[in-house]
């Protein structure tokens, strides 16, 4: 992986229990490999015909073989041959693969494709068949088997090296190096090699495990190491013949094979994980009921939130609160904008209102109610049905929020089929009508299509049409137009407005774009750092009192914006989140400067490739 630095990460990994266990195991393996034959060689070769073919006993934990030799000693002595043969085979695979991969990368395109196709074909055959094929050529000896297992692994590393080289060669910094006139060889040495080597080593470690097992398999089949030499596979082969009498003779070498194989595989995993640790999310706490009357008056607020707090489990297991006591009310038919920079907690608040936060979120609220339904608890079946019919969601990226494997028609009809028990034909007719109302052309054909066959704007209109399938009281739209270009944005907002008029639903529109929200909403709620900082009438921006809001407004460019002056930015948050200061040049609205100002969205990816 480009840019990773293995060494510090490796040291950190060694400090984890698994890393330490792997290190200890490797040390033990190295010691037995180095000193086993010298210390135990005599014991392993001492014949004792009186004690031949004994079962497991205190003197011989693994029993003895045909000639009365101690099997535990033989297993330990066999470590050296088994490990060295596996390492030799791995070295052949890695070096051979690297040579093929690099040669392929240097070859002209046509030849490179031919080599890659051949590697592809070889990869489609399992290693055992390749190893058997090669062992026919090089003979059923230890060296022959090492060559066979080694060559069987060459395609794996050829593919890995050529993929790595291609991926690194495609990165921006290599392009940059080339544009700066770096010679190809220097580019390869400085940029490619350091980035190709770490993953290559990781895979070599994992592959050593495969080589070890392959070798054991070949020797077990009688096609590898031949008597009088012995490795674990050979011992297993001899033990398996006696398995009807004495299982320990086979289990002993089997244990050695499995333990070493697992150790090497773990080494690969530990190396590849580096210092990355799995996040530990705390269990979901029991949700507190808030006791809400079930009756819903028509003029009662659709959404009623008081002192909402949402925390997430951090990597070290502690809870990090992201929303700190938000109050929010949405009246029937009201269009409320929830504005703030990324990380302000606006999406989390909306997802809490919808009851759709994941199991790693911890939600607490004095009151979190959607039309009489307490959203801090898992809903009852009846409440689920009501939620399905009365709430609909529209998300930022219409491609990833539509299921890629289901047709548009199925995704539209299922809500009514499930919750309103509409018959399929009726639901389909309704879906057709819904698509036509949001102005999706050729609606009948679209119903049979998959999402990837539609344009981005059309997908988002499909999402809105989902809302028209039911009788929503609330449409939660989370950045519904961010992924779309400006013309399509207008169409989508028009469709959203139409859906709202038609169904009489309230809308909770989440956006970073204060200009968009001001033209669309009845009321705007400004959030920052998990708190509501201000509520505003969008027609009266000049009344904004909170400096953060004024900063956000100042960032919006218009036709009179002076393009020669630097962009205004909202100042990074003060540690205690007191009144945030603003860029001095931007405090005055008339001093607004510079085009594409998207307040407070540093580093957020935009889909169209336009830098934010």
- Distance of closest approach, residue 267 Cβ to other proteins, in angstroms: 13
Query: Residue 301 CB, nearest distance to other proteins (Å)?
Result: 20
Residue 416 Cβ, how far from other proteins at the closest point, in Å? 10
Q: How far is CA 565 from the centre of its chain?
A: 41
Rounded Cα–Cα distance for residues 78 and 82 (Å): 6
- Say if residues 390 and 470 touch (Cβ distance below 8 Å): yes
- Residue 54 CB, shortest distance to other proteins, in Å, is 17
Print burial letters for 212-243: b (CB count within 10 Å at least 16), e (below 16). bbbbbbbbbeebbbbeeebbbbbbbbbbeebe
CB 93 within 8 A of CB 122: no
Question: Judged by CB under 8 A, does residue 474 bind other proteins?
Answer: no
Smallest gap from Cβ 346 to other proteins, in A, equals: 16
Which of 91, 258, 488, 612 is the binder for other proteins (CB under 8 A)?
258
Q: Residue 92, interface with other proteins (CB under 8 A)?
A: no
CA pair distance 313, 319, nearest whole angstrom:
4
Selected range binding other proteins among 43-51, 260-268, 322-330, 430-438, rule: CB under 8 A: 260-268
Q: How far apart are CA 134 and CA 50, in angstroms?
A: 42
- In order of 2, 51, 64, 393, 504, the CA distances from 471 in angstroms are 50, 86, 79, 13, 8
For other proteins, the binding residues in 58-87 under the rule CB under 8 A are: none
Indicate whether 157 belongs to the interface with other proteins (CB under 8 A). no
Site residues for other proteins, window 306-345 (CB under 8 A)?
Answer: 313
Considering only residues 566 through 605, tell me which ones interact with other proteins, judged by CB under 8 A. none
* Cβ-based nearer residue to other proteins, 170 or 575: 170
Complex with other proteins: residue 370 or 548, whichever CB lies closer: 370
CA gap 126, 426 in Å, rounded: 52
CB of 396 to other proteins, least distance (A): 8
User: Does residue 128 touch other proteins according to CB under 8 A?
Assistant: yes
Closest separation between CB of residue 74 and other proteins, Å? Answer: 17
Contact residues for 268 (Cβ-Cβ < 8 A; gap 6+): 202, 203, 205, 206, 207, 208, 209
Q: Is there binding between residue 192 and other proteins (CB under 8 A)?
A: yes
| Rounded least distance, CB 277 to other proteins, Å | 13
Using CB under 8 A, pick the residue from 111, 243, 423, 433 that binds other proteins.
243
CA neighbor of 495 nearest in space, from 442, 541, 441? 441
**Closest CB to other proteins among residues 139, 372:** 139
- Of the candidates 601, 605, 607, 600, the residue with the CA atom closest to the CA atom of residue 483: 607
Question: Are 118 and 130 within 8 A, CB to CB?
Answer: no
Written as one string, the DSSP assignment of 375-420 is TTSPPPHHHHHHHHHHEEEE-S-HHHHS-TTS-HHHHHHHHIIIII
Q: Hey, which residues between 434 and 453 contact other proteins (CB under 8 A)?
A: 450, 452
289 near other proteins (CB under 8 A): no
Q: Per rule CB under 8 A, is residue 16 in the interface with other proteins?
A: no
- Number of residues located near other proteins, criterion CB under 8 A: 92
Q: Which of 419, 439, 531, 546 binds other proteins (CB under 8 A)?
A: 419
Residue 147 binds other proteins, judged by CB under 8 A? no
Options 86-94, 325-333, 404-412, 499-507: segment touching other proteins (CB under 8 A): 404-412
Output the six-digit token pair for 432: 């057709």
Per-residue b or e along 80-107, where b marks 16 or more CB atoms closer than 10 Å to that residue's CB: bbbbebbbbbbbbbbebbbebbbebbee
Among positions 352, 393, 454, 508, the unique one binding other proteins when judged by CB under 8 A: 393
Binding mask 481-520 for other proteins (x = CB under 8 A): ----------------------------------------
Instruction: Write down the least CB distance from residue 526 to other proteins, Å.
Output: 25
């Amino acid at each position: 992986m480009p840019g990773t630095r293995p060494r510090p990460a490796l040291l950190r990994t060694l400090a984890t229990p698994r890393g330490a266990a792997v290190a200890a195991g490797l040390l033990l393996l190295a010691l037995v490999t180095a000193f086993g034959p010298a210390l135990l060689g005599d014991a392993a070769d001492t014949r004792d015909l009186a004690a031949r073919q004994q079962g497991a006993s205190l003197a011989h934990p693994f029993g003895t073989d045909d000639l009365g030799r101690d099997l535990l000693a033989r297993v330990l002595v066999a470590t050296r041959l088994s490990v060295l043969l596996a390492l030799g085979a791995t070295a052949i695979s890695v070096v051979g693969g690297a040579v093929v991969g690099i040669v392929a990368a240097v070859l002209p395109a046509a030849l490179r494709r031919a080599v890659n196709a051949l590697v592809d074909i070889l990869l489609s055959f399992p290693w055992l068949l390749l190893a058997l094929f090669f062992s026919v050529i090089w003979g059923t000896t230890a060296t022959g088997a090492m060559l066979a297992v080694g060559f069987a692994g060459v395609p794996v590393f050829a593919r890995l090296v050529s993929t790595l080289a291609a991926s690194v060669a495609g990165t921006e910094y290599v392009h940059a190096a080339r544009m700066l006139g770096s010679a190809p060889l220097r580019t390869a040495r400085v940029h490619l090699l350091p980035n190709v080597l770490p993953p290559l080593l990781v895979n070599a470690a994992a592959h050593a495990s495969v080589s070890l097992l392959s070798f054991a398999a070949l020797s077990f089949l009688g096609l590898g190491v031949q008597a009088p030499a012995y490795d674990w596979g050979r011992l297993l082969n001899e033990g398996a013949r006696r398995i009807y009498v004495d299982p320990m003779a086979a289990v002993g070498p089997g244990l050695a094979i499995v333990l070493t194989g697992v150790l090497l595989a773990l080494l690969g995993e530990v190396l590849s994980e580096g210092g990355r640790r799995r996040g530990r999310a705390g269990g979901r706490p029991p949700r507190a009921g808030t006791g809400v009357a079930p009756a819903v008056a028509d003029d009662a607020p659709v959404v009623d939130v008081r002192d909402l707090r949402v925390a997430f489990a951090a990597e070290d297991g502690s809870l990090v609160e992201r929303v700190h006591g938000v109050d929010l009310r949405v009246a029937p038919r009201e269009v409320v904008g929830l504005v703030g920079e990324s990380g302000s907690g606006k999406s989390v608040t909306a997802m809490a209102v919808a009851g759709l936060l994941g199991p790693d979120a911890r939600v607490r609220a004095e009151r979190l109610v959607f039309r009489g339904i307490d959203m801090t608890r898992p809903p009852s079946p009846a409440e689920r049905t009501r939620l399905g019919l009365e709430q609909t969601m529209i998300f930022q990226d219409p491609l990833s929020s539509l299921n890629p494997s289901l047709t548009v028609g199925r995704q539209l009809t299922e809500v009514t089929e499930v919750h309103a028990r509409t018959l399929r034909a009726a639901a389909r007719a309704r879906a057709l009508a819904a698509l036509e109302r949001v102005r999706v052309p050729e609606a009948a054909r679209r119903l049979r299509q998959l999402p990837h066959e539609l344009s981005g704007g059309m997908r988002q209109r499909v999402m809105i049409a989902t809302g028209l399938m039911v009788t929503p009281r609330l449409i939660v739209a989370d950045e519904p137009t961010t992924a779309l270009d400006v013309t399509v944005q207008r169409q989508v907002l028009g469709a959203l407005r139409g859906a709202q008029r038609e169904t009489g639903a309230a809308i909770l529109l989440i956006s970073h774009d204060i200009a968009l929200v001001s033209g669309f909403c009845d009321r705007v709620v400004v959030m920052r750092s998990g708190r509501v900082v201000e509520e505003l009438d969008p027609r009266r921006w000049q009344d904004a009192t909170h400096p953060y809001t004024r900063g956000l407004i100042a960032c919006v460019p218009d036709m009179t914006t002076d393009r020669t002056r630097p962009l205004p930015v909202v100042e990074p948050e003060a540690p205690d989140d007191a009144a945030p200061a603003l860029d001095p040049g931007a405090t005055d609205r008339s001093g607004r400067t510079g085009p594409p100002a998207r307040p407070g969205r540093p580093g957020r990816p935009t889909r169209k490739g336009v830098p934010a």
